[in-house]
Structures are given as structure tokens and as C-alpha cells.
A = this chain, B = another copy of it.
Amino acid sequence: MEPVDHFRGFLKKNGLAFTSARAAILKGIVASRGHFDADALHEQLKRVGESLSCATVYRTLPLFVQSGIIKETLRSKGRARYEPAWGLEHHDHLECVACGRIIEFRDDELERLQDKVCQRHSFRPVEHRLGIRGYCSECGKKGT
């Protein structure tokens, strides 16, 4: 199913309207492959002629999170960041503190162990975030 169809279904189920602003934002999300923040998304939309108020962008992002189209990731420089999630497997992040590069990885064993930890504490997980900060291979070479 296409994200847009899923999103329409989500809106209808919740008595919300599918507006042109929401359509535009969804297009922006799909276009921006990879991580983005509210401001970057707003800028990108402006570039393609879709000028929405930034309040609308901020107001709409949670809907996309709730519907599973995107998910919030580690915030950086005080800004909430997002990444597409629709149809993608869960993964975690390595974040280079020197160059800012973000490397995604997935490790099933790691996932399994986390579930075990939750069981041990009778904890029902909803989501988790693992972020490892350090130096990527490039920056690691350059010293310190």
C-alpha cells in the first residue's frame, strides 16, 4: 500500500481531513529520503512552491508519526528529527560526533536481547531508541 493511501485511511479513521497542506507535507517527506527536521522540511516545501506556515508543519508532523509514516529519531542541535518509517524495518543509529554522519544498522540479536530485558522487568515496550555516538571510520583516522 502506498503511504498516501495508508495516511488517508488513518485520517478517516480519526475523523480528520485530508487537506492539500497534508498532501504537500507527505510529498515532502517522501521526497526527502532520510533524516529531516521540521525546519528542513518547511524549507524544502517552500523550494518547490508549497508555502505552508511553519505552524502547520509542526502541527502535522505528529500525525505522520502516529500513522507510522515517519518516526522521531535522536534529536540533534536541539531539534526534533524524523525519518521515514513506512514499510521500513526498524534500525538503530551510529552518530559521528565529529562530522555528524549518521549510520544506520540493524542487529536482530540486539533486538531480541532488548525484548528479553523487557520481559525480565514485566515491561511492555512500545518503541526504543539506541544511539551510539562516537567517531566514524573516516573521522577516526584523522586522529583523536
A interface list, Cβ under 8 A from B: 75, 94, 96-97, 103, 105, 107, 109-110, 113-114, 117-118, 120-137, 140
Contact = CB atoms under 8 A, between A and B. Distances in A.
A94 B125 CA distance: 8
B113 A94 contact: no
A87 B82 CA distance: 35
A121 B126 CA distance: 28
A107 B117 contact: yes
Given A97-B126, A113-B107, A113-B110, A121 B133 contact: no
Contact of A133 (B122, B126, B134, B135): B126
From A107, A131, A132, residue with most partner B Cβ within 10 Å: A132
Contacts of A123: 94, 96, 103, 132, 134-137, 140
Given A123-B140, A125-B132, A94 B118 contact: yes
A97 B76 CA distance: 22
A53 to B, nearest CB: 22
Contacts of A94: 117-118, 121, 123, 125
Nearest to A144: B124
Nearest to A132: B128
B133 A130 contact: no
Given A124-B134, A125-B134, A126-B134, 14 more contacts: A94-B117, A94-B123, A105-B121, A107-B117, A118-B134, A121-B137, A122-B140, A123-B135, A123-B137, A124-B140, A125-B132, A126-B135, A128-B133, A129-B131
